[in-house]
Structure 1
Amino acid sequence: MRTLILALSALALAGSAAFADPIADRQAIMKANGKAVGAIAPMVKGEKPFDAAVVLDALKTLSEDAQKIDVAALFPEGTDKGDTEASPKIWEDMAGFQAKVEKFRADTAAAVAAAPADLDALKVEFGKVAANCGGCHETFRIKKS
């Protein structure tokens, strides 16, 4: 009986994975990234006071989300169509896109490890992370109105 329950559970999990929506999944990651950047950017701009706890939490979110970006799973063939801002350039240069993702992973992990303790340190670390965002969006994103 236990084997039957485990087998049915495995089938249920496999079936639900088949219905995963890579476009929605990657949009959820980007939305979380936008929220994390939105917590940090006003500090860098001097619009909000520096808060080390908020900074570290946001950097951890960015780093954790970077680890979730599985290019093969989130950008399979055919997902350049539909409600997406993903540029066809992703599929034309998958290796270049993967390299951007890996750099984002490395820089967000380094920013978390640095744990910026003041605004000047934040500006250095956040500058590296934000450059990744901007560079990738310029090449691999189509901004829809």
Structure 2
Amino acid sequence: MGDETGARGAEAGPFRGETKKHKSVMKLPQVPVRIVAVQANAIFGERHMVKPANMLKIVPAVAVIATLGATLAFAGAIEDRQAGMKQVGKAMGAFAGIAKGEAPYDAAVVKTNADSMREAWKKAFANFTAGSEKGPPETYAKAEIWSDPEGFKAAEDAAFKALDALAATSDEAGFKTALGGLGEACKGCHTKFRRPKD
């Protein structure tokens, strides 16, 4: 008992552990803090207390989120239709390989790619919504899509009809003929309703 050291010895005082406890307190400047009551639920009269300094953080954050949400809503339509058209491009690449003789004609491959193209077109055509005429992101859609909706719908119908004819082919000769028809339908729509990429 007489030779206790360390923390226990320090507790006993200077004669036992040979150390003294020092307590230092750092004093911070005292600033008055205002707390503002914010109505959380008007029906039940619930209130939350928020410091004005925190309000300065909350208000800009809410404004940024609201603006970003509105931008993303329009950007989403543009991005969705562009993603659909990229999928169409992949299917057209498979068709081009068959037409050039790089791959053998296979009715199952043609049907699979035609089905993929059909789903991609559905997604793309559904996303030419009002308010998505301009980006960001950059869009190549012409204003005629919205100023001539009947013409745009007719071009869409022609594209689906040509795609159905392609999917129904059973030999290479019929495939090449139907692919030409699909190419004309795509060109007709792009000429009137899509501006060229720079």
Q: Confirm or deny: 8 A CA contact 1:22 1:75 kept in the other structure.
A: yes
Name the residue aligned to 2:192: 139
For 1:102, the aligned partner's letter is D
* TM-aligned CA deviation for residue 123 of structure 1: 0.8
Structure 1 residue runs of 4 or more that deviate by more than 6 Å after TM superposition: none
Instruction: Indicate whether 1:39 and 2:107 are aligned.
Output: no
CA distance in 1, matches of 2:170, 2:148: 38
Deviates further, 92-101 or 43-52: 43-52
TM-score (norm 1): 0.74
CA deviations 1:44-98 (Å, max 9, x no partner) are 1334332333222111212233333444xx1223322121111112122111001
Q: Alignment identity in percent?
A: 39
What secondary structure sits across from 1:50 in the alignment?
coil
Q: Confirm or deny: 8 A CA contact 1:67 1:105 kept in the other structure.
A: no
**Larger strand share, 1 or 2:** 2
Q: Which runs of 5+ in 1 are unaligned?
A: 1-17
> Which one has the largest radius of gyration?
2
Instruction: Indicate whether 1:59 and 2:109 are aligned.
Output: no
Higher relative contact order (CA 8 A, sep 6+): 1
Closer, same or farther in 2 for the Cα pair 1:106/1:69, shift >3 Å?
Answer: farther
Cα RMSD of the aligned pairs, angstroms, is 2.3
- How many residues get paired? 125
* TM-aligned CA deviation for residue 25 of structure 1: 0.8
Name the residue aligned to 1:122: 175
**Larger helix share, 1 or 2:** 1
TM-score (norm 2): 0.56
For 2:105, the aligned partner's letter is F
